[in-house]
Structure 1
Amino acid sequence: MSFRQLTDDIFVTPQISTDDIAEAAKLGVTLIINNRPEDEAEDQTPGDAIERAARSAGMDYVAIPVTHSGFSQPQVEAMSAAMEKADGPVLAYCRSGTRSTLLWALAEASQGGDPDALTNIAAKAGYDITPVRPLMDMLKAQA
């Protein structure tokens, strides 16, 4: 699995398996964030299996599922809180890594992050966050 690094403290990736936890541990990851709803696809590793493997490796785990219907304020707040309380690098995953990247950008904007800088960071990692740019601008203005 190739994790994409957004910042020193956040990696995103498509769906992981329990085998990927060892790679995350080598990178110093202390928190796994699952942004994928359970049973979204038949081939996905269940969140509880990822959670058990993460906790066995000494990592925290949190599920903040995002469906294709979009993002909500509670999800943005949960992502912000999870990243803030992490005591080391974070790995967030979903089906492709896109929803994790979008939610990261929204969480960062809600904490005062610059939307232009966040857009550039995501683009360097291969993710287009322009679909949530208006929401990022709004969250930044409210920060």
Structure 2
Amino acid sequence: MTLDIRPLVDGLSVAPQVTEEDIRAAHAAGFRSIVNNRPDGEEPGQLPSAEAARIAAGLGMAYVYMPAIGPTLDAVSDDFGKALAALPGPVLAHCRSGTRCTILWALAEAKAGTSSGEEIFRTAAAAGYDLSSYAALIDRYAQSRV
């Protein structure tokens, strides 16, 4: 299986669930940090976060386990934004499909006022992610920073 890396912005890419081989491939591709936004046990057979952290550490990569599910996305986006600012880049964030990671980035970006809602939606769409169900929230945060 080939790791489906989708660049969002400079220094941040997202991907679906990773395997041990994917972590090694991400390291070989130059990623220095991994953020795991998928809760352990969400799907049978997924790589547990403790094992992924061990593999990443063995490669000299930073690893952050920051599980997020629908009701917690808004709150977790604050920590996600802080992690992106603090971690050595480039950063690869992953979840089941990459969508949650993209939503977390979008909310953090809107809250920071770094990009307009339109720019955020365009960036996500270019990576293949539809954030329309979060449009009102993203726009509200983005407009409050204008």
1:22 corresponding residue in structure 2: 24
Q: 1:100 and 1:93 mapped to 2: Cα distance?
A: 6
- Give the match for residue 91 of structure 2: 90
Query: What is the deviation of 1:115?
Result: 1.2
Whole-angstrom distance in 1 between the partners of 2:6 and 2:74: 24
Task: Tell me which amino acid in the other structure corresponds to 1:98.
Answer: T
Equivalent residues in 2 for 1:1-143 (5 A)? 1-73=3-75, 75-112=76-113, 113-143=115-145
Gaps in structure 2 of 5+ consecutive residues: none
TM-score (norm 1): 0.92
> Which whole-Å deviations, capped at 9, do the CAs of 1:71-127 have from their partners, x for residues lacking one?
232x01110110001221110100111111111111111111211111111111110
TM-score, structure 2 length as denominator? 0.90
User: 8 Å contact 2:17–2:46 — kept in the other structure?
Assistant: yes
Provide the C-alpha distance between the structure 2 equivalents of 1:15 and 1:115, rounded to a whole number of angstroms.
27
Distance (Å, rounded) in 2 between the aligned partners of 1:81 and 1:69: 19
Deviation at 1:70?
Answer: 4.7
- Partner amino acid, structure 1, of 2:47: T
Deviations 1:12-59 (A, max 9, x none): 110001111122113321211111011111121111111111111111
Which amino acid letter does the alignment assign opposite residue 34 of structure 1?
N
Unmatched segments (≥5 aa) in structure 1: none
Q: Which runs of 4+ in 1 moved over 6 A?
A: none
Taking only aligned residues, the RMSD between alpha carbons, in angstroms, comes to 1.4
**Take 1:106 and 1:3, find their aligned partners in 2: how far apart are those partners?**
20
